[in-house]
Amino acid sequence: MSRKNLSGIVQQKGTQHVVMRTLLFLTLGVFCLYYLIPLIVMIATSLKSLEEIRAGSLLSLPQKVTFDAWTKAWSSACVGVRCDGLQPFFWNSVAMVVPAVTISTILGALNGYALTKWRFPGADIIFALILFGAFIPFQVILLPMARTLGVLGLAGTIPGLILVHVIYGLAFTTLFFRNFFIGVSSGIIQAAQIDGAGFFGIFFRIVLPMSLPAIVVTVIWQFTQIWNDFLFGIAFTVGDSNPVTVALNNVVNTSTGVKEYNVDMAAAIIAALPTLAVYVIAGAYFVRGLSAGAVKG
Amino acid sequence: MSDIRLEKVTKNFGATEVIKGIDLAIDPGEFVVLVGPSGCGKSTLLNLIAGLETITGGDIYIGGKRVNDTPPRDRDIAMVFQSYALYPTKTVRNNITFGMVSRNIPKADQDAAVQEISTLLQIERLLSRKPGQLSGGQRQRVAMGRALVRKPDVFLFDEPLSNLDAKLRIEMRTEIKKLHQRLGKTIVYVTHDQIEAMTLASRIAVMDNGHIRQFADPATIYEDPVDLFVAGFMGSPPMNMIPGKIGAQDGQYVVSTSNPDEAPLDFPLPPALYERASAMDGRDVILGLRPEAIFAAGTELPGANRFIFERPVSVVEPTGPDTMILFHHAGLDVVARVRPEDSRPEGTLFSFEADMEKAKLFDAKTTLRI
Ligand SMILES: Nc1ncnc2c1ncn2[C@@H]1O[C@H](COP(=O)(O)OP(=O)(O)OP(=O)(O)O)[C@@H](O)[C@H]1O
Ligand SMILES: [Mg+2]
């Protein structure tokens, strides 16, 4: 139903209705502003020169827009002793997040599909155990994970970090997909079985195309989690293999006498941009995904 | 062509027994219709034959081969689901061809098959739409198309016409019948529609609560029901079941029925029933008279064993070709089917004639036919 256009629904009219609407939008506007102010301040600061920052107030808009801070943050700011900017670490993050999100999403979909549509003895217990994984705090697995990566020879590398994120993310992706597939009529799977398709045939040709909303929700969730992760990044990578979040911290903490707020702000926005982009691109699906169980036939 | 044989088949869902020991032998090319009240296990039985549910006990044979452990795709069946179960992301065309794609049928054959089936089902204009953009009846026809497009050994239909309008349903019914005559495939067909059951079936299986009560050709089910359940299930409006007592009067056997406010009626039994009635002398029975066996006195050609009585009309229900007249008797509303021109307004004293040749007797205790 979520795909149906709702604009045809008859709505209330009259003065009372108009007053309530105005009030509603005013309230929404106030909250909107409240949430947007930090972002506005960040963007404004990143476009100012250092002198202007020192002279003006925090909230004022830039008098003379300059992208020097952005260029510096991207390609020449010092991260620890290395002064190449965020750029190499940004690509580290990309190289980590793409496989980590892809693998954990596909495995989660496969898990959810097997747990709901190909019921096997003990499926509920296995699901409960997987679910339990979603509640384990990050800190608890640091030491065992470090040991595991050491044994596998992946310590301090990007593939090692990918493995960590895939394993940790599996609990969430499985949960998302299981809850989506439980709302999908089993009759569709049965029809496909009668039509001669097997486990993977049904998965790739029937189930996966149906679960686009769930995929989008999972990808957004996983991307945000993995891209923004700091703890695993700092614990399981070293120096050159750091993800962008760790590098950002290092940019801000590398003291060269003067605090360059504009560079810090630009670096922070650069580090946050990909998640923002994912929300904007896939956001429309995010809302749909939440009510996706209602879509049938 | 394959036969289907069920032997002592049972099915439990957890602790609840849904199919309670069914024996059924369906001949090759037969058209079997399953009827029964909602929740009696018809869909479950189809799922067992299709292999979509694992049977708890007993054996299923298709084409002489035991298929208890054969997965659905290897049973060579096609099924129309009660819930349609169309693939929501595929177009109508791809819904129909999915089974052929899975089985690697050449593209040219697929196109020809789609063409033929979409013309038959009048869905040519819908081929590029998604199921979400179809009405209920259109979805049902697509579901039919998906099953019919393949030419399997066995067809299973679960209420395939329930959502169509009356005209289309009659058309489709005829098409299914023609299709069966042309292809000669074995068909198991579930329906709640009596006319569908009577017109399509070579044999009807009447189910109740996980059992099969009677499995016979439509005429036998209608004229020779084995018990009250089958008698009451088939026929619309249903058979009148008048409680009474068997007694002998002047060398005749009668069923005496009483009425708190009105005069009792003694229905004389036809001589053919004397022998069986004598064994039940003095016992409580149910007298079964279908509405068409009670009509306005003198409106049919005279025959043997007619019984004429008078009762005030309590309700008049015109249906078009016939009019149903209800009257109170023995604590229930008895229905008589009369010609519209013989109808009289409510309250009028009406002279009814019952054709006792058509009467059926049931034991009130065991509900079995006497
Ligand atoms: N998966 C299941 N788990 C538990 N009980 C079930 C399950 N499927 C069906 N049942 C029960 O089995 C009984 C028979 O169901 P079934 O769907 O076969 O009925 P039906 O005869 O097809 O009814 P209808 O005419 O309404 O379609 C019902 O009482 C139903 O509640
Ligand atoms: Mg059913």
Q: Do A196 and B50 touch (CB under 8 A)?
A: no
Q: Which residues of B touch A (CB under 8 A)?
A: 47, 50, 52, 71-73, 77-79, 81, 83-90, 98-99, 102-103, 131-132, 139, 146
The pLDDT of residue A285: 65
To the nearest whole percent, how much of chain B has pLDDT over 90?
Answer: 67
The pLDDT of residue A174: 94
Among all ligands shown, which has an atom nearest to the Cα of B39? 1
- Taking domain A87-294, whether its CATH number is 1.10.3720.10 is answered by yes
- The count of C-alpha atoms lying within 13 angstroms of the C-alpha of B141, restricted to the half-sphere facing its C-beta, is 25
The pLDDT of residue A6: 59
Q: Which of these, A224, A104, A114, lies nearest to A173 by C-alpha position? A: A104
B30-49: per-residue pLDDT in tens?
Answer: 999 999 999 999 999 999 99
State the span(s) of chain B assigned CATH 2.40.50.140: 240-363
A140-161: per-residue pLDDT in tens?
Answer: 889 999 999 999 998 889 999 9
The pLDDT of residue A295: 35
Q: Whose CA is nearest to atom 19 of ligand 1?
A: B39
**Whole-Å CA distances, B202 to A179, A212, B77, B160, B304:** 45, 46, 19, 18, 32
B108-132: per-residue pLDDT in tens?
Answer: 999 999 999 999 888 999 999 988 8
- Say how many Å lie between the CA of residue A228 and the centre of ligand 1: 49
For residue A195, list chain B residues with Cβ-Cβ distance below 8 A: 73, 98-99, 102, 146
Q: Whose CA is nearest to atom 26 of ligand 1?
A: B38
The pLDDT of residue A217: 86
Q: Of the ranges A27-36, A202-211, B272-281, B295-304, which one carries the lowest mean pLDDT score? A: B272-281
The pLDDT of residue A287: 60
Query: Mean per-residue pLDDT for A248-271?
Result: 84
**Pocket around ligand 1: residues whose beta carbon is below 6 Å from it?**
B 13, 16, 18, 36, 38-44, 82
Query: Mean per-residue pLDDT for A166-181?
Result: 92
Domain B240-363 CATH class label: mainly beta
What CATH number belongs to B4-233? 3.40.50.300
The pairing of strands B252-257 and B240-249 is antiparallel
Q: Whose CA is nearest to atom 8 of ligand 1?
A: B44
Contact between B64 and B27 under an 8 Å Cβ cutoff? The reply is: no
The verdict on ipTM greater than 0.85 is no
Q: Do B81 and A295 touch (CB under 8 A)?
A: no
State the span(s) of chain B assigned CATH 3.40.50.300: 4-233
Q: Of the ranges A6-10, A129-133, A182-186, B95-99, which one carries the lowest mean pLDDT score? A: A6-10
| Strand arrangement, sheet containing B332-338 | B315-318, B323-329, B332-338
Map residue B257 onto helix, strand or coil.
strand
**Backbone φ and ψ of B313, nearest 5°:** -70, 130
For chain A, what are the domain ranges? 12-66, 87-294
Query: Mean per-residue pLDDT for B289-312?
Result: 91
Q: Do B103 and A205 touch (CB under 8 A)?
A: no
Partner-chain residue, chosen from A196, A212, A297, that has the shortest CB–CB distance to B86: A297
Contact between A239 and A88 under an 8 Å Cβ cutoff? The reply is: no
Banded model confidence at residue A29, pLDDT cuts 50, 70, 90:
very high
